[in-house]
Structure 1
């Protein structure tokens, strides 16, 4: 069983939930948001989508919220496990994006990321992007930039308490995203994107000592549909 079904692509105009369901829905989703943000990264995508429909949920969204509750009940004996494992990289992040995943007329994409310290997840996020991406590469580029901001903050935080991380790595599963981030000659392809999202270029293309590496991965870990963001183990 997974926390989400096909509701993530339910278009507008479906049956509106009953008055009782509309009253109960934000209460359920509010509690699920706390769980997803605190201890269950595997719920980030699903609950994030549900939270977009607080004002006027459909019956499908209400049923999807009930599905998440059933999923939590069936997985109540699993949770995050943190271990000391120096064989893992000190600090990495995985980013991913679901291009044009918003079922409304806006068709905005969804970013997902998870940051790990020695293989242990310490920060995760799944959120709708604030601008409309014209291609999957753009959506992945924005997601990677958001992950870069998070991993550089964690690098500074760890350094302040005496933990050296070296050069952290941000992993992406999109070749085009990596190319436009590393190669200045590809800059023209994304000139129209908001300037703040080009922050990743400065940190990858530094000539003397890059602030981070951007590398290819074959398996996204950052919250794609029906994918867990990290390991869950029985307590």
Structure 2
């Protein structure tokens, strides 16, 4: 395993996180969330993952084991969506503090049943046993402070935060997060971009 990691690092030395420089007159806040149901073979707890973007640029991401044992894939996805919502909240507060105009923030998931639960007010038999703290996303949707959107599994870039993927799927998620070959980006685009190497301090 250690050798595989070292080979990967050596093979991706020229990659970096690419961020497009664009005007902040209409900020778009989007968070992709995903879950791998009952991932842990010992305690059967699921893993949540999220990737948060501002105007298409990755700002934060995370992966963590869920606190409770989800009883279904939908429930695991619902919990993950609430964790992603909490990550969005600090960006919402930041935009408000800086007086940046922003569209209604959006949470994206690939589980249609989960999207349904967030969009329909009232109590549901599938979620009545879930702790109240996991209903944040539904509360914000009901108050039109947040919207949810279904995306296909192939477009779910947060999948890389929940489990090991095939080479093809991993590369698709990596590209979706704009972790790209820096030399190719600079050679092929006329747009202004910031890359991680450009941001590193020099002595």
Q: One fold, TM greater than 0.5?
A: yes
1:179 touches 1:186 (CA, 8 Å); kept in 2? no
The equivalences for 1:1-235 within 5 A come to 63=1, 65-85=2-22, 90-104=28-42, 106-185=43-122, 187-206=124-143, 210-218=144-152, 219-222=155-158, 223=160, 224=162, 225-226=164-165, 227=170, 228=173, 230-235=177-182
2:27 touches 2:103 (CA, 8 Å); kept in 1? no
Distance 1:181 1:147, change over 3 A: same
Whole-Å Cα distance in 2 between the matches of residues 189 and 234 of structure 1? 44
Give the secondary-structure state (helix, strand or coil) at the position aligned to 2:49: strand
- TM-score w.r.t. length of structure 2: 0.77
Give CA-to-partner distance per residue, 1:197-231, whole Å, 9 cap, x none: 0111110112xxx1110110112111243233512
Give CA-to-partner distance per residue, 1:125-169, whole Å, 9 cap, x none: 011111111100000000000011111211111221232212110
Unpaired runs of 5+ residues, structure 2, are 183-203
Unpaired runs of 5+ residues, structure 1, are 1-62
Instruction: Give 1 or 2: higher strand fraction.
Output: 2
Whole-Å Cα distance in 2 between the matches of residues 128 and 71 of structure 1? 25
1:186 offset after TM fit, Å? 5.4
User: Pairwise CA RMSD of aligned residues?
Assistant: 1.9
Higher relative contact order (CA 8 A, sep 6+): 2
Distance 1:144 1:134, change over 3 A: same
Whole-Å Cα distance in 2 between the matches of residues 103 and 85 of structure 1? 44
2:19 touches 2:178 (CA, 8 Å); kept in 1? no
1:85 touches 1:119 (CA, 8 Å); kept in 2? no
Count of equivalent residues: 168
1:99 touches 1:109 (CA, 8 Å); kept in 2? yes
1:89 touches 1:119 (CA, 8 Å); kept in 2? no
